[in-house]
Structure 1
Amino acid sequence: MKRLSLSVFLIFFLQNFAHGQSADSSPRWHFGVMGGLHLITYSPNDSYKAIKSPMAGLDIGYDFQNSPRGWSLRLQPNFTAIRNTSKSGTYGTGYYMEFKWRTQYADLPMLVRYTITDGKIRPFAEIGASWNVWRHSSVGGSGLDCRDGGCYPFEIKRTDANFEGNRFNALAGAGVQIDMGKVTIQITVRVLDNLKKRESILDPGTGSEYKLPKARTVQVTAGVAF
C-alpha cells in the first residue's frame, strides 16, 4: 500500500513538474527570415539623393536566459541589391552626362539586443557592428561635353569585383516583437554608420581638393522567427 501511494505521488509530481517546465520556459535558440528596405544617404548630401534598395536575410538568435525578456545575441546575414541613376547637365544641350550604378553586397551584422518585457508585445533596443563580407559593383556612363569649339562624346563602363573599401559599420536600432504563438513577428528600425573617416581626393583637372561623401543607412525590416 505504501509503495502504491509513493508511486502515485511520484507520477503526480513528475507530471506537474514537466507541465511547469514547458509552461514557464521558452527556447533559447531562434531561427527566422527577414526582409526590408535600405535608405542610403550621404554626408554631405549636396547633389546626392537618397537611394532606396531592397534587402533580405536570415535571423539567428540566442537568448541568455529562459525568457524572452533580457539579453540576446543576434546574427543576421543579409543581401542587398542597389540600382541608381545619376544625371548631370541637360539633355540636348552642350553638356549632359548619365551614369547607371549597380551594386550588390552581403553583410554580416552581429548585435546585442535587450528585450524590455516578456508579454505578447515586446519592445527592444540593440547595438552592434556589421561586416561587409562581399561586394560587387559596376557603373556605366555616357554623355556629351561641348567646349573649346568642339564636342566630345563620353562613355565609360567599369566593374569593381574586388572591393577594398571600409568593410565595417556601427549600428544601433529599436523595434518590437509580436508573439503570435508558434512564430514571432519582428519589426526593426536601424541606423548604420560607416566607421571610416572621410577621405579627400585631388582633382588633377582643376587642382581642387574634394572630400568624398560618407554613407549612412537607415534600415527598416520585418521578419518572422521561430
Structure 2
Amino acid sequence: MKKYYLLILISALLTTQVYAQARKVNKRNPTGTAAAKKSNPFLQKQFWLGFKAGTNLTQAKVQESYSVIVPPPNAIVDVKNYKNFNLTGSQVALEVTFYTKGFSISVQPTYFHSRFEYANRYEWMDANSPTNLLTLNYKQEQQTDYAELPLLVKYDIAGSVLRPFVQAGVYYAIQVNANKAVTVNGVDYASGGLNEFENDPILVGAEDLFAKNYWGISAGAGVNYNLGNVRLTLEGNYRMGMSLANSTENRYKNDRLAGVGDALDDIKLNNIVFSFGCLFPMRYLASGFKTLDR
C-alpha cells in the first residue's frame, strides 16, 4: 500500500514540474514556437472586420457629347469644358477581409458620394451691328450617390508592424441619389450698354439622368500599421469606370434642364480615392495573442 502512495506522490510531483515548465514557455511565447506557427495553418489565417472613410476626386471621361441648343450661323458655341479631379467627394465603407499567407480577399460595401462639373459658353452677335452681343456662361455641377460592392485581392509586400500592400479588384455600383445644379450668368450688350447678370441656380433631382447601376475596376496601394490587436490602414486607389454612368434613354427628359440647353453627355467616371480605416481581428482577441504571429 505504501508503494502506491509513493507512486502517486512521484506522479504528482512530475505533473507539477511539467505544468510549471509549460507556463514558463507560454509566458515567453504565448502562441508557441516559430516552427509551430509555420506548421499550424490555424495561426496563418485571420479575419478582419472594420470601417473605412475618406475622400475622392472624380473625372468624367466623355465618350460622346450631346447638346439641346442648335446655334444659328452667327453664334459661337464652346464645347463643354470638363474640370476634372477638382471637386472633393466622400465615401464610407465596411470592410470584411480574410487573410492567409500574405494574400487577402476583401469585400467592402461602400456608400460613395462623388462630384464633378463642366462649363459651356454661348455667344450671339448681330451680323449687322457687332456691338449687339449676348454672352451666356453655364456652370453645371453633378452630385451622385451610389451604394457599391467592391471585391478586392490584396498582397502584403513585407514587414511586421508596418506592412505595405498592393491591391486590385472590381466594383459594382447601384444608384441611391443624384442631383444637378446649373448656374447661368452672362453679359448683354444688345440693350445699348454693358449689362452683366447672373440667374438663380437651378437645382433639380437628377436620378433619371444617371445610370441605375454601373461597374468598374480599381487598383491601388497602401500601408497597414498594427497597433496591438488593432490594425490601422491608409490607402490610395485609382478607379476606372467600365460602363456608362449616365442614362441614354432619359437624356432629354428633364424639362428644366432642357430649357437651359443642357443635355448630359455619354460619360464614364474615373476616381482617385483616399481612405483611412481601422480594422479588428475576429480571431486571437485574447490578451495572450497578437494580430501578427510572425
With normalisation by structure 1, the TM-score equals 0.73
Alignment of 1:1-226 (within 5 A): 1-12=9-20, 14-15=22-23, 16=25, 19-21=29-31, 25=43, 28-43=46-61, 47-50=81-84, 51-65=87-101, 70-89=102-121, 93-141=134-182, 143=184, 157-160=204-207, 164-196=211-243, 212-226=266-280
User: Which residue identity is paired with 2:207?
Assistant: D
Q: How many residues align?
A: 210
Q: Quote how far apart the aligned CAs of 1:48 are.
A: 1.4
**Any idea what SS the aligned residue of 2:180 has?**
strand
- Determine the structure 1 residue equivalent to 2:260: none
Deviation at 1:170, TM superposition (A): 1.0
Structure with higher strand content: 1
CA contact (8 A) 2:171 2:218 kept: yes
The structure with the larger Rg is 2
Where is the helix percentage greater, Structure 1 or Structure 2? 2
- Are the counterparts in 1 of residues 237 and 273 from structure 2 also a CA contact under 8 Å? yes
- Deviation string 1:116-135 (CA, Å, 9 cap, x unpaired) is 22411111111111111343
CA shift digits 1:90-112 (9 cap, x unpaired) = 89944233434232122111111
**Aligned CA distance change for structure 1 residues 93 and 83 (closer, same or farther; 3 Å):** farther
Provide structure 1 residue ranges, at least 5 long, that are not aligned to the other structure: 205-209
* Aligned match of 2:6: none
Coordinate RMSD, CA, aligned: 3.9
**What amino acid maps onto 1:88 in structure 2?**
N
Shift of 1:137: 0.8
Q: Which amino acid aligns with 2:30?
A: G
Q: Which runs of 5+ in 2 are unaligned?
A: 1-8, 38-42, 64-79, 124-132, 191-198, 253-263, 281-294
CA distance in 2, matches of 1:155, 1:20: 65
Contact 2:58–2:115, Cα closer than 8 Å, also in 1? no
